[in-house]
Amino acid sequence: MIPEELPEIIPEEMRGVAAKISAGERVTNEEGEALFRSKDIALLGILAGVVRRRFNGDRVYFNRNFHIEPTNICIHNCRFCSYRKPAGSPGSWDYTPDQIMDIVKSFDNKPVTEVHIVGGVHPAHDLHYYGKILSMIKAHRPGIHIKAFTAVELDYMIKKGGLTLEEGLAELKKYGLDSIPGGGAEIFDEVIRREICDDKSSSEKWLKIHEVAHRTGLPSNATILYGHIENYGHRIDHLDRLRRLQDKTGGFNAFIPLKFRKSNNPMEKQGEVSLIEDMKNYAVSRIFLDNFPHIKAYWPALGRSSTQLSLSFGVDDVDGTIDDTTKIYSMAGAEDQRPAMDTSEISALIRGAGYTPVERDTLYNVVREW
């Protein structure tokens, strides 16, 4: 609940929506845009805190995970991307299955619970190619949770494998897929999408893939790419489409706002939004997505100090240990060029903001309270 003394200092135009949030009522799209337009960042943090405590109390989650990025060769050429390289160019890679297994085996003596696999959409690889890799991982380490392949990757590999969406996701689940990440959503507005990632899978297809995944028993996450050429209306439209799908399936675990980083891509001159805008985006996301149990700050993208601050703006998850296994944001200019934190560092970051660190598995089952 909102402290009793606050209504007197809440601007009159915000009192109605503040009362709805306090009562656990759903805010409308128009109210969501009004929250974005508010200049009272402290109030947004308070309101987001009301919602995050309703879901998660003072707990902040993390896990022990590592990433595998099989390739940065990609059929798409998104304007915001600093990661993609043409085949054969300096800086490109395409790991063989044996090389991927070498990465997996390097974690044999570490208590990781999740491997996160995403990369470029390679023109030659279908779902059976990747499915066999999943099977190899499960055979070597049966207990690890495999969270793999954005909807954009899935769209291509399933088509290339000659299967329907339903058949392809079911087949990948048999191979060992446990859940799917939220990447590739970018921004759902079709006009903006045509400007920044015209040849990518459509917003309709992204949503459809996640809907079918949920029906197949594959939970997922969701993302937004913010801070480029979109406006508040585009952000709320994006959140609204996710909220409506979650009403329908209940299959999303977490929402992860991803900040546009400007280095080494064609949108470099666009610049980056401020820290205040970052915190506003977390707060409004937490308030608006009243059916998402978790809001995650992906610390390799946001940076450690900003991630710590985000915990006061509705965030209850900071992702995981990573162990310097991802290049996607370091190539775009993020401050952590070799992203890795051990459990003591993550716990200290969380406790430093006044919250309780909780180690989780991918599905938010508690492993240990720190």
Could you tell me if 40 and 154 lie in one domain? no
The pLDDT score that the predictor gives to residue 325 is 65
Percent of the chain with pLDDT over 70: 94
Whole-angstrom distance, CA of residue 291 vs CA of residue 365: 18
Q: Are both 39 and 61 inside the same structural domain?
A: no
Same domain, 130 and 258: yes
Instruction: For residues 177 and 37, state if they share a domain.
Output: no
Distance CA 319, CA 62 (A): 5
Mean pLDDT, residues 21-30 taken together: 96
State residue 14's pLDDT score: 86
Q: Classify residue 314 as left (phi > 0), alpha (psi -120 to 50) or beta.
A: left
User: How many C-beta atoms surround the C-beta of residue 37 within 10 A?
Assistant: 10
Indicate whether 108 and 253 sit together in one domain.
yes
Does residue 1 fall inside a structural domain? no
Farthest CA pair distance, the chain? 64
In this prediction, residue 333 carries a pLDDT of 47
Which tops the pLDDT comparison, 87 or 195?
A: 195
Do 177 and 287 lie in one domain? The reply is yes
Upper half-sphere CA count for residue 218 (Cβ side, 13 Å): 29
**Number of domains forming the structure of the chain:** 2
Q: What is the pLDDT, as a whole number, of residue 86?
A: 79
The residue that leads in pLDDT, 268 or 349, is 349
The residue assigned the tokens 């299967």 is 163
Residue 341 covered by a domain: yes
13 and 71 together in one domain: no
Do 18 and 132 fall into the same domain? no
Consecutive H or E run containing 137 = helix 127-140
User: 328 pLDDT exceeds 60?
Assistant: no
Domain that holds residue 364: 57-369
Q: Looking at the structure, tell me whether residues 184 and 275 fall in a common domain.
A: yes
Same-domain pairing of 238 and 163: yes
User: Is the model's pLDDT at 332 over the cut of 90?
Assistant: no
Region 99-112: what's the mean pLDDT? 96
The domain that holds 142 is classified in CATH as 3.20.20.70
In a domain, 12, yes or no: yes
pLDDT at 337 over 80: no
Q: Is residue 96 part of a domain?
A: yes
What is the C-alpha separation between 287 and 185, in angstroms, rounded?
A: 20
**Cβ atoms 66, 361 nearer than 8 A:** no
Q: What is the pLDDT of residue 2?
A: 57
pLDDT digits (tens, 9 = 90+) for 33-89: 999 999 999 999 999 999 999 999 999 999 999 999 999 999 988 888 877 887 888
Q: Are residues 11 and 62 in the same domain?
A: no
Do 91 and 181 sit in the same domain of this protein?
A: yes
CA 318, CA 307: separation in Å to the nearest integer? 7
Q: What is the pLDDT of residues 131-187, one digit of tens each?
A: 999 999 999 999 999 999 999 999 999 999 999 999 999 999 999 999 999 999 999
